Amino acid sequence: MPVYSVPLPESSVLKALEGANKVRIIGCGFCDNWSLAYNYNQPINEIKTEGDKTITVPYSLSLELNRWKKLLEEEGKSCEIEVTPQLCMYSEDPVILERSNLFKLSGKDFVERCKGSDAVLCFGCSAAFAGLMRRLGDDVMLIPGLKSVGALQIQTYMDESGRFIMMNNEGSTIIKNK
C-alpha cells in the first residue's frame, strides 16, 4: 500500500526557493508517482519499448517534475531533474546502500550533485525527505514538494492502447491520517 501524498501549495514552495539559483528536483518513482496520478487523474506509468526491452516510466511524476522545471526556469533558476525509485529507502545506512549497489542514490556522486545545488526540491514522502535530510545534512537547502497525508489502496488497469497503466480512482481508496 503506497504512502499517499498531496502537493504543497505552489506559492509556499516558490517562496522557500526564493534564494536559490540552482535547483535539483528529485522525485520518487513509486508512491509519489501513484499519489500524483490519483490527485491529477493521470496515467501512473507509460510503457515504452527500447530495442528488445520493455520499460515503464513514472508518467505522472515526470509531468509534475517537468512542470516544476519549466516554472523554476521561467523564474531564472537553473534546474536538473532526477527520478529515483524507492527514494524512501535512502534513509537506510549509506554503507549498506553502497555495498548493495541497488540504488543510484547510494553513491557519493549523488550527494555531490545535490551539494552542487543551492536547493533540492524533493517530490517524495516524509520518509524520502527524512532520508535525504540525513544524507545531505545542512550543506544544501532541502525543500519538500509534497506532504504525506495517509495511504492509498489502489486498483489499476491498462488503457485500451496498451501504452499506459491507469488508476481506477473510483475503486481506489485513500486512508488519511488524523
Task: List, in order of start, the domains of the chain with CATH numbers.
Answer: 3-176 (3.40.50)
Residue 30: closest CA among 69, 59, 64:
59
Amino acid at 161: S
Question: Residue 169 is inside which H or E element, if any?
Answer: none
Please, is 12 exposed, middle or buried when counting C-beta atoms within 10 Å of its C-beta (0-12, 13-18, 19+)?
exposed
| Residue whose cell numbers read 501512473 | 44
pLDDT higher than 70, residue 96: no
pLDDT higher than 70, residue 73: yes
Question: Residue 175 is inside which H or E element, if any?
Answer: strand 173-176
Sheet of strand 45-50, all strands in order from the earlier edge strand to the far edge: 53-58, 45-50, 164-167, 156-158
pLDDT for 130-154, tens place per residue? 888 888 888 899 999 999 999 999 9
Cα–Cα distance for residue pair 117/163, rounded to 1 Å: 35
Query: Can you name the residues that pair with 122 across neighbouring β-strands?
Result: 26, 144
134 or 91, which is more confident? 134
> Could you give the C-alpha distances from 139 to 27, 78, 118, in angstroms and in order?
20, 18, 9
Question: Residue 51 is inside which H or E element, if any?
Answer: none
110 or 155, which is more confident? 155
List, as one string, the DSSP characters of 51-79: TTEEEEEEHHHHHHHHHHHHHHHHTT-EE
> What is the rounded average pLDDT of the residues 16-28?
96
3-state secondary structure of 147: strand
94 pLDDT band (50/70/90 cuts)? low
> What is the rounded average pLDDT of the residues 13-22?
97
How does strand 3-7 pair with strand 53-58? unpaired
Percent of the chain, pLDDT > 90?
Answer: 69
Question: What is the pLDDT, as a whole number, of residue 168?
Answer: 94
